[in-house]
Chains A and B, each alone.
Chain A
Amino acid sequence: MNPDTTLRTPYPMKVLKRGDIGAWPVVGALVAIAIIFSTLNDRFLSAQNLTTLALQMAATGTIALGIIMVLLLGEIDLSAGSVSGLCATVMTIVNVKQGWHPLASIGLALAAGAAIGLLHGFMLTRLRMPSFVVTLAGLMGWQGLLLYLLREGGTINLPFTGFISKLSDTWLPGWLSWLVVAGLVLGSGGVSLLNRVHRSRAGLPVTPVWWLGARSAGLAVLLGAGVLIMSADRGVPLLLVIFATLVVGFDLLLRHTAFGRHVYAVGGNAEAARRAGINVTRIRILAFMLGSTLAAAGGILAASRLSAVNQQSGGSDVLLMAIAAAVIGGTSLFGGRGRAYAALLGVLVIQSITSGMFLLSVDSSVRLMVTAAVLALAVAIDSLARKGPIR
């Protein structure tokens, strides 16, 4: 055995060498946004504003998470906005008009999302249509179906005190928030410590303990600050917890299961994946199903916030913001690179800009231009990182 194989520098130093800049640009952008808007308006960093921001993130963020599943394949999903609106409408109709149980209505909406994803995946893999065209058709078609379903009235309200509306008006009590934070910090710290023990037992290079400690401390400070701020207002919104749980769940799925690895493999080199015996068609269809199901989930959360669905549900800039969030968060448009956390980071950037502009009562024209600039910057960083890794 030669020593070169085992020689490794600890992770933090390696990051730059790899040409993998990771989440740092986004974090930098967030800090810059916080500084700029809080100097322009002292309400930006107030507990009330930040709590509202957290509430607003969930729907778009969940849709962005679905977009990431598809982007990782090197494909695109333009239909996510329409699908979110349509599925929310289906849920609302069976709940309000047919008197279905809220949970059954939600289940039906998610199933409808999965079925739409299955159809898109089928058109992509069996009919060999490009995903751009498949989902462009979806963008128009599902929007059309939504308008058809809503044709009389145009708006359906959800009962304000009903289960679905309550989802976005439920706040975690302080003790529970702190319990969750403690659980997350201790849990993740414990797992990485255990992992370290197993690695060193297997004779594999390990991360220095101080780095694990620093990471846990950083996580504790971040989560603690969040809970502290939101507790000063209404508390931690359930919607944020749902979104965060989805992000963590999909991160685990992508990094620790064969399915997740195969998604990256198909996005990186589909032919290599096929020759390695991976059922590429199955992976593609499953990823599209997950993407559309998450779009449906995002639509449900949006309907809950609004306590209604209408002809604008899932329309206007929902899709654009979700794609922008995924890309700003660091998901590559070229496939095979990106993580679930991109949804969280990206939507945080976008909602911060939206919220800051709103506080400054800037016209939405300016908001669109600023968001566009951030998006362009994110894609430029992605392209450069892809082309010339610093060796």
Chain B
Amino acid sequence: MISASGITKRYGAVQALDGASLDLRPGEVVALMGDNGAGKSTLVKAISGVVIPDAGTIAVDGAPVRIGGPRDAQALGIATVYQDLALCENLDVVGNLFLGAEDRFLRHIRMERATRDLLGQLDVRIRDIRVPVAMLSGGQRQSVAIARALLGSPRLVILDEPTAALGVEQTAQVLALIGRLRERGLAVLVVSHNLADVRAVSDRVAVLRLGRNAGVFGTATAAQEEIVAAITGAGA
């Protein structure tokens, strides 16, 4: 289990996070919701090592760990898919999946085989994995970015607004893929503004408001109004 507790981060006069906490368990999808500026991205960045919090602890299986940079997070098995996927459009799927992880002399066959197996396991449909990524649809690109996060066998996958730019069908594809990450026993954290997506894919919903926890809900049991109220602060 990976837990962040009491995470605090201040940017000048802006208190982006004020003692926010979050628990992430294997085989569970947690949706992180909150209004614009609530601190979602900052919390994600603190966990993935992009931002160093002013205070708070991150613990893996109960033991506190130090995350001083993205490399530390990766070494702990935390993989992040950023909103701007960071793919090289001119490279093919294989090239993108293994980017930065190649042997000095490329082992084309081994890499292509591994790519095909991984995409097959995730049930990602890409007709030809050797065309440039520029030729793929938005959903396929998102899938490639997620598959790439899986290459390092992480324990936690963080997705920042994975469906924000997608149409109906491609959103369904990516949500199904997130479901398969759960089946693989991974902990998944999804940042999203879309209640329908969140209901479809998550087990729990954690809401941030003004940098603080505004409630954690079981997706199956909570009423939609409850979640919306927590996000907007109505009735609080």
Chain A 180-205 near chain B by CB (<8 Å), digits 1 or 0:
00000000000000010011001110
Cβ-defined contact, A268 with B113, below 8 A = no
**Can you identify 13 A-B contacts, CB atoms within 8 angstroms?**
A5-B119, A6-B116, A204-B113, A255-B106, A258-B105, A261-B99, A262-B100, A268-B90, A269-B88, A272-B88, A336-B88, A336-B89, A337-B90
Chain A nearest CB from B137 CB (Å) reads: 10
Which among B10-18, B33-41, B124-132, B170-178 touches the partner chain? B124-132
Cβ-defined contact, B131 with A261, below 8 A = no
Contacts of B90 in A (CB 8 A): 264, 267-269, 336-337
Cβ-defined contact, B99 with A19, below 8 A = no
Contact partner of B88 among A7, A256, A273, CB < 8 A?
A273
Chain B 162-205 near chain A by CB (<8 Å), digits 1 or 0:
00000000000000000000000000000000000000000000
Cβ-defined contact, A261 with B86, below 8 A = no
Contact A18/B135 with A272-B99, A337-B90 known, Cβ cut-off 8 Å = yes
- Total count of chain B residues near the partner, CB < 8 A: 39
Total contacts A to B, CB within 8 angstroms?
A: 106
Contacts of B116 in A (CB 8 A): 5-6, 204
Which among A127-135, A238-246, A274-282 touches the partner chain? A274-282
Contact partner of A14 among B82, B123, B128, CB < 8 A?
B128
Chain B nearest CB from A259 CB (Å) reads: 8
Closest A residue to B103 by CB, please name it: A258
Contacts of B101 in A (CB 8 A): 276-277
Contact A203/B113 with A272-B99, A389-B134 known, Cβ cut-off 8 Å = yes
Cβ-defined contact, A268 with B88, below 8 A = yes
B91 at the interface (CB under 8 A from A): yes
B161 at the interface (CB under 8 A from A): no
Docked complex: A49-101 residues within 8 A CB-CB of B? none
Cβ-defined contact, A19 with B126, below 8 A = no
Contact A204/B109 with A5-B126, A272-B86 known, Cβ cut-off 8 Å = yes
Closest B residue to A275 by CB, please name it: B86
Cβ-defined contact, A261 with B102, below 8 A = yes
Chain A nearest CB from B173 CB (Å) reads: 12
- Total count of chain A residues near the partner, CB < 8 A: 42
Cβ-defined contact, B100 with A276, below 8 A = yes
Contact partner of B106 among A1, A18, A256, CB < 8 A?
A256
B7 at the interface (CB under 8 A from A): no
Chain B nearest CB from A82 CB (Å) reads: 30
Q: Pick from B100, B110, B121, B135 the residue with the most CB of A within 10 Å.
A: B100
Contact A7/B127 with A202-B113, A272-B99 known, Cβ cut-off 8 Å = yes
B95 at the interface (CB under 8 A from A): yes
Closest A residue to B119 by CB, please name it: A5
* Bound-state Cα–Cα, A257 to B102, Å: 9
A271 at the interface (CB under 8 A from B): yes
Cβ-defined contact, B112 with A204, below 8 A = yes
Chain A nearest CB from B155 CB (Å) reads: 19
B146 at the interface (CB under 8 A from A): no
Contact partner of B100 among A204, A257, A278, A336, CB < 8 A?
A278
Contacts of B102 in A (CB 8 A): 258, 261
Contacts of B150 in A (CB 8 A): none
* Bound-state Cα–Cα, A195 to B70, Å: 38
Closest B residue to A258 by CB, please name it: B102
Contact A257/B86 with A265-B99, A391-B135 known, Cβ cut-off 8 Å = no
Q: Contacts A7-B127, A202-B110, A337-B90 given; 20 further ones with Cβ under 8 A?
A: A1-B117, A1-B120, A1-B121, A5-B126, A5-B127, A8-B127, A203-B113, A204-B116, A256-B105, A258-B106, A261-B91, A261-B102, A261-B106, A264-B95, A265-B91, A269-B87, A273-B100, A276-B86, A276-B100, A278-B99
